[in-house]
Amino acid sequence: MDKDINVGIFGLGTVGCGVVKILQDNADVIKKRLGFGINIKKVFSHTSKCKNLLSNYTYAKNYKELLDDDIDIVLELIGGTDVARKFVLEAIEHKKHIVSANKALLANHGFEIFSKATQNGVKIGFEASVAGGVPIIKVITRDLMANNIKSIKAIVNGTCNYILSQMFETHESFENILNKAIKEGYAERDPSFDIDGIDSAQKMAILAAISFNAKVEEKDVYVEGIRDIDFIDIDFASQLGYRVKLLGIASMNENKLLVRVAPYFIESDNVLAKVDGVYNAISVISDMTGQTTYVGKGAGSLPTASSVVADIIDIANDIQSGQVKSALQTGIFDNVEFVDVDNLESHYYIRFSVVDSVGVLGNIALVLSKYNISIKSVVQIGKGSDVVPLLVLTHKAKEANIKKAIKEIEKDHQNIIKNGTVLIRVLD
């Protein structure tokens, strides 16, 4: 039997405690399957939700103790970027293999970290950084390695998917469902990170980088959230045979890379439209396998911790075999040109809030036609009120023209346009 593998853990939050539970509760079955054990050797954390779970370990006085010679793999589970980056880079210099669930770290400093890992001959496990318990990183970097990936369309934020699903099912407002999500623990008390699309953007930066061999960071992702979506939008979409989802999209076309997060109308028979609640789904289209879709819980202590432990086991097996290789060689990360989203064309849904009076639609249609935007369908809801929603679905148009038209309508027709205009793209 091979010697046991020792791990050090930095961070005992929700995920860290899940890792402790799995490694301790399933220690015997892991040892039987691997032929060696995985031991929690040292732990460092400023706070802990699960100190009572830990046994047979040393609680370190500082994180540098996790870099001792008898530790093989260190887990970075603290989140954030500054301290995490410093710790990970120091650990790599000490020839420690790394497992991290930190999407913000990898979305902003991934190239630096993988470069240093390659130089030092260590491996980075980061399955848990995207989609929790869905093993999408291994699918892309291993199972689809021989495929040329064409595009990825993904639901990678369970909070947003829960909110949009509940709005569809209950017909309640965004605010009501958000408050319910906070009470039920599906959303943070400050939900901005999720509902403004930041969380999804970080995950899509990682997926785009490994799918298209490209140097992609969070700043390269075009981001819109779901804060302005109302039940009116979801109901109108439903009447037309669509569902509204916050989608991350990454695709390569003519050597230009598009990475975007935004709400979309999706045809209701699309597999992604059927994924509801807190579930994540990633649909990958590649040249040899066509479309494959992966669905599962995208967050939570045990699903995410399970992905962390899977990375630990992969690296532990490599250590035992003496065949450790970096999960990604930095040579594959090429500088790429990104698509200018203003040059894209799509069908669009636009919700104007307008004064209920004669000539409003005519004024709006005149501006739209000026920018070569034709109306496919239009509905006005709630006649008789002072301000009513005017819902417009367009034929295919250029995004730059849509934005210019909306800006002109809001600026030059303030007497009839009230509140903010909502724009949602229709997924082709």
CATH number, domain of 398, equals 3.30.70.260
Q: Where are the alpha helices (DSSP H) in 217-372?
A: 231-239, 301-321, 360-370
* Token code pair at residue 115: 């470069």
339 assigned to some structural domain:
no
Torsion of the alpha carbons at 278, 282, 283 and 286, rounded to the nearest 10: -170
Please give the tally of structural domains in the chain: 3
Domain span at residue 232 reads 136-297
Same domain, 421 and 324: no
Same domain, 143 and 234: yes
Query: How far apart are the C-alpha atoms of 192 and 227, rounded to whole Å?
Result: 9
> What does the pLDDT read at residue 358?
82
> What does the pLDDT read at residue 328?
62
245 assigned to some structural domain:
yes
* CA-wise closest residue to 121 among 145, 98, 87: 98
CB within 8 Å of 361: residues ≥ 6 apart: 378, 380, 390
> What does the pLDDT read at residue 1?
57
150 assigned to some structural domain:
yes
* Type and span of the H or E element at 34: helix 27-34
3-class DSSP assignment, residue 335:
coil
Same domain, 122 and 140: no
Contact 70, 42 (CB under 8 A): no
> What does the pLDDT read at residue 219?
96
Query: How far apart are the C-alpha atoms of 130 and 396, rounded to whole Å?
Result: 32
CB within 8 Å of 227: residues ≥ 6 apart: 174, 195, 196
337 assigned to some structural domain:
no
* CA-wise closest residue to 87 among 95, 99, 96, 76: 76
Beta strands in 66-120 (DSSP E): 73-76, 97-100
> What does the pLDDT read at residue 194?
96
Its pTM stands at: 0.93
> What does the pLDDT read at residue 95?
94
CATH number at residue 231: 3.30.360.10
158 assigned to some structural domain:
yes
Same domain, 104 and 205: no
281 assigned to some structural domain:
yes
> What does the pLDDT read at residue 332?
62
CB within 8 Å of 244: residues ≥ 6 apart: 164, 168, 229, 233, 234, 237, 263, 264, 265, 266, 424
Catalytically annotated residues = 203
Query: DSSP secondary-structure letter at 141?
Result: I
> What does the pLDDT read at residue 59?
85
> What does the pLDDT read at residue 326?
62
Same domain, 292 and 144: yes
CATH number at residue 11: 3.40.50.720
Same domain, 224 and 285: yes
Same domain, 16 and 119: yes
Same domain, 314 and 387: no
* CA-wise closest residue to 135 among 279, 298, 356, 374: 298
> What does the pLDDT read at residue 384?
63
* CA-wise closest residue to 159 among 145, 132, 143, 178: 178
Same domain, 142 and 283: yes
Query: How far apart are the C-alpha atoms of 76 and 84, rounded to whole Å?
Result: 7
Per-residue pLDDT of the chain (428 residues; tens, 9 = 90+): 578 999 999 999 889 999 999 999 999 999 999 999 999 999 999 877 777 777 767 888 899 999 987 899 999 999 899 999 999 999 999 999 999 999 999 999 999 999 999 899 999 999 999 988 899 999 999 899 899 999 999 999 999 999 999 999 999 999 999 999 999 888 888 999 999 999 999 999 999 999 999 999 999 999 999 999 999 999 999 999 999 999 999 999 888 999 999 999 999 999 999 999 999 999 999 999 999 999 998 777 888 899 999 999 999 999 998 877 665 655 567 788 999 999 999 999 999 999 888 888 999 999 999 999 999 999 988 766 788 999 999 999 999 999 999 999 998 888 888 888 999 999 98
Same domain, 160 and 292: yes
* CA-wise closest residue to 282 among 167, 157, 128, 185: 157
Query: How far apart are the C-alpha atoms of 112 and 108, rounded to whole Å?
Result: 9
Same domain, 15 and 104: yes
Q: How many CB atoms lie within 10 A of CB 1?
A: 8
Same domain, 327 and 350: no
